[in-house]
Structure 1
């Protein structure tokens, strides 16, 4: 049975600074680099046929450190902005605590966690899913159905959209879903790509 591993990048510099990041291309923090290496150590016993990442450097850096630590050499890799973090629009670069003081904690939680409410000039999770899921169906699922093992290194919300689809979560259930940085989420799948089991490694 094929397996799919989803990995959110390690802590970025703006995660550390508690800023909305979105499509701003910030690097990993030193802690994020450590998280990526630790994820690589957890994945070292597995074999993968293909790696997918977003085009943002925090995901690419994480994938590079994972591969170096786990000993994955010459792993076929595809990078696509379809897997990028959701675009936070006018919130990008703002401190989350300051934004909560300005707009209210409840409004910021809705912007961050709801399924279909967009931050000003940004994407909702539904918008993010509208690019992530067709990409998954077109490029990743065919590999899984062919019995290939796939590693996806991406972002909190692009992975939330994918987990929502795989786990068949409702918009209400996805509100409380959080994907931690640097923690490999392992899915065992059947020949059609349906989930048989999942766990964090």
Structure 2
């Protein structure tokens, strides 16, 4: 059965990441430290080349791809943009500490958005739309090996929501310029809206936890 590989890559670091700020819709570039870190990772790890890259339209993602996967065919997708943090945008946890809206937000939940922002359910729905577009495009164009450059929260939600084996979102937290690789088959996606998580990206040859595909159907 034909398989389709997708590497999910988190963008490089911005100044807001260094400052610990909630940055969703704000279109920040990579900071100098962020770009330097990506170049160091190219020297340290083998980033397998891909046929096409699907990316968030925000600068931090597009600049990451220009470093990690230069001269590749790139498609910008608004569905891959970061979560909209509403009134919390550009603020740190310390600045929000005594805000009752923030205290409610950090309790978590699918339908607990920040004021004027997106809920986790909204983000997951966008992730599903993005995955459908990407997988359909791969099949139509005959692509078997692509990358998706997006944001840490989206990667965690996509892999926790649709990945096999099933894990919690925080299990898919990844460093800047890194992520996970998945294998998609048409039958598994059409039947279960699921794909198999096969390892880290770039490959580090670490052992994954001992789960099986069967766990997905029994948990």
Over 3 Å counting, the alpha-carbon distance change for 1:162 and 1:32 in structure 2 is same
Structure 2 unmatched runs, 5+: 190-194, 204-219
Partner of 2:152: 156
Report whether the alignment pairs 1:135 with 2:130.
yes
Structure with greater Cα Rg: 2
Partner of 2:196: 195
Tell me the TM-score normalized by structure 2: 0.74
CA contact (8 A) 1:53 1:83 kept: yes
Deviation readout 1:103-122 (Å, 9 max, x if unpaired)? 49854533xx5433101110
Report whether the alignment pairs 1:100 with 2:104.
no
Structure 1 residue 198: deviation in Å? 2.5
Aligned residues: 192
Structure 1 residue 177: deviation in Å? 5.1
Structure 1 unmatched runs, 5+: none
Report whether the alignment pairs 1:13 with 2:15.
yes
Taking the aligned partners of 2:119 and 2:169, their CA distance within structure 1 comes to 12
2:59 to 57, 60, 67: 57
Partner of 1:81: 78
Q: What is the DSSP-based 3-state SS (H/G/I as helix, E as strand, rest coil) of the residue aligned with 1:131?
A: helix
Deviation readout 1:67-104 (Å, 9 max, x if unpaired)? 24xxxx3x211002110000000100112222124349
Q: What is the DSSP-based 3-state SS (H/G/I as helix, E as strand, rest coil) of the residue aligned with 1:151?
A: strand
Over 3 Å counting, the alpha-carbon distance change for 1:43 and 1:77 in structure 2 is farther
